[in-house]
Structure 1
């Protein structure tokens, strides 16, 4: 039978489970089912037999990587000797939340499975640390800049699809504002700020937006200067997401040409964390960011009259 401490854990205040998003709920439920199974002294094979499933399915459920059936969770709770009605109600309520559609469901025809996973993690994060090499991070992009990035990378999209991709990116950014106010720590390569995505006017608007976003108390922006130290491990972008629930591990996210990879094993995530820490130490400090951005804007402004004179 679960101890008094574990019963308290079922109802702890580390996250408001009544309002947890589907990904958060799925990961919390999986983590707690694993803890209950281990406390009961059972292996995954025994748990699988109880719900007529494979050991692999139990592993996916415990990682929050698979949908939950209410009957399966009820049977597992019985197997793990969770008999208190209040404890069972908390976990069964998480089943409903875990299976609820996320706000991104309206973009289901656009969003591949790996991106749906990322959106769920992003929506349920309390802290996001990101390193970007080529572009401004998506959470900090303006609509015009986002449109330029999307069309630059995929010229076969229809105009209505481009509009929806831009709308999706703007919708993601709500997590930075009340009532969410996720903590964002972004480190951007200076080359991404110098690259004229969309042309000078679009880039000027983007840089001005970064100045505004850097003033938010929950947003930190650093720039890795071109003439500063370089790291061969920093050739690709990476994002680390920390959930609001303490029982959940950090997740590292890396995009590639064909999709993305997710890492939640501490042996893996510590390497990404070390890289982000190295970048934060060697990038210009957050206090220097406004000056760097204003200098690039001034350079853009100075080039425009000269360009006009050449055309004249």
Structure 2
């Protein structure tokens, strides 16, 4: 059906990291390059760690993009790995510098858990984002009042100022959908989300109207997964699947839990999550039929 073609690994464009690329994505790309160069040079993590006076655990975190790499350490590692071309070295060090910059989201560190920060950084660099939500409208498509209701449901005892900051962060994330190079957003929404009166009838009317409006954008797709589908094919937890145009950056599946999240980028794992999303899409009504379901839900809250 239109709009529900599976995300198969049909190859990605090869691009040099763009000037505005997310520091989070750059760290992953640089980490993969460091791991590849170390392997090609036949250097063990122990030897690399001794060269820059750190632990092997830090080498592992750098190579997976979970820890930044200092420019001095990068220069020492390149020398150890036999990279002597001054132009190549200078380009790599410049990318290391860019990867170490603060993303805008760091201004919200007071309300952003450490486990959530990678998702925000990767959203900024994604070419496509697919997500399944069983409980709420995804944050990228929430209205301010709906976001406020969702945040208060999970943080009922915190100050109103903290809630305001969390909502502000959520709305700031949404700005990527208005960029000229906005990612394709493909949302699978459990039917239960349309039934749950989050924030009350008025908030739901506004939220469902906003969803319908957003589906008019050419890069936003929303499908409603009916109960009869999710009863047999449901991952249980929210899944966000990100694909990138940047060369060297693998697909990432981000799975949310109650108080933390897991991100995986190994192909055997991401293939499994992609299959779940493909299966849900194939069994659910088309985007056009889903718009009718959204409109019906909107009338129920009238």
Scaled by the length of structure 1, the TM-score of the pair is 0.88
Give the drift of 1:273: 0.9
Give the drift of 1:56: 2.1
Query: What are the Cα deviations for residues 234-292 of structure 1, in whole angstroms up to 9, with x where unaligned?
Result: 22211111223131111111111221111122221111111111111111111212211
Instruction: Please tell me whether the aligned partners of residues 196 and 203 of structure 1 are also in contact (alpha carbons under 8 angstroms).
Output: yes
1:224 aligns with 2:244: no
What secondary structure sits across from 1:262 in the alignment?
strand
Instruction: Please tell me whether the aligned partners of residues 130 and 187 of structure 2 are also in contact (alpha carbons under 8 angstroms).
Output: yes
1:148 aligns with 2:149: yes
TM alignment of 1:30-179, pairs within 5 A: 30-179=31-180
Query: What are the Cα deviations for residues 146-204 of structure 1, in whole angstroms up to 9, with x where unaligned?
Result: 01111122211211111111110000011111233111111000110111111111101
Provide the rounded CA distance (Å) in 2 between the counterparts of 1:245 and 1:262. 18
Provide the rounded CA distance (Å) in 1 between the counterparts of 2:16 and 2:194. 37
Provide the rounded CA distance (Å) in 2 between the counterparts of 1:21 and 1:298. 40
1:184 aligns with 2:185: yes
Instruction: Please tell me whether the aligned partners of residues 182 and 219 of structure 2 are also in contact (alpha carbons under 8 angstroms).
Output: yes
After TM superposition, the structure 1 stretch with the greater mean CA deviation from structure 2, 167-176 or 45-54, is 45-54
Instruction: Please tell me whether the aligned partners of residues 190 and 230 of structure 2 are also in contact (alpha carbons under 8 angstroms).
Output: no
Give the drift of 1:229: 5.5
What secondary structure sits across from 1:101 in the alignment?
coil
Give the drift of 1:294: 1.1
**Structure 2 stretches of 5 or more lacking a match?**
1-12
Distance 1:150 1:114, change over 3 A: same
TM alignment of 1:269-288, pairs within 5 A: 269-288=270-289
Instruction: Please tell me whether the aligned partners of residues 21 and 124 of structure 2 are also in contact (alpha carbons under 8 angstroms).
Output: no
Structure 1 segments, 4+ long, off by >4 Å, are none
Q: What number of residue pairs does the alignment pair up?
A: 290
Query: What are the Cα deviations for residues 288-312 of structure 1, in whole angstroms up to 9, with x where unaligned?
Result: 12211111112222xxxxxxxxxxx
Relative to its length, the structure with more helix (as a share) is 1
Instruction: Please tell me whether the aligned partners of residues 187 and 280 of structure 1 are also in contact (alpha carbons under 8 angstroms).
Output: yes
Provide the rounded CA distance (Å) in 1 between the counterparts of 2:75 and 2:247. 24
Give the drift of 1:70: 1.0
CA RMSD of aligned residues (A): 1.6
TM alignment of 1:257-296, pairs within 5 A: 257-296=258-297
Provide the rounded CA distance (Å) in 2 between the counterparts of 1:218 and 1:17. 21
Higher relative contact order (CA 8 A, sep 6+): 2
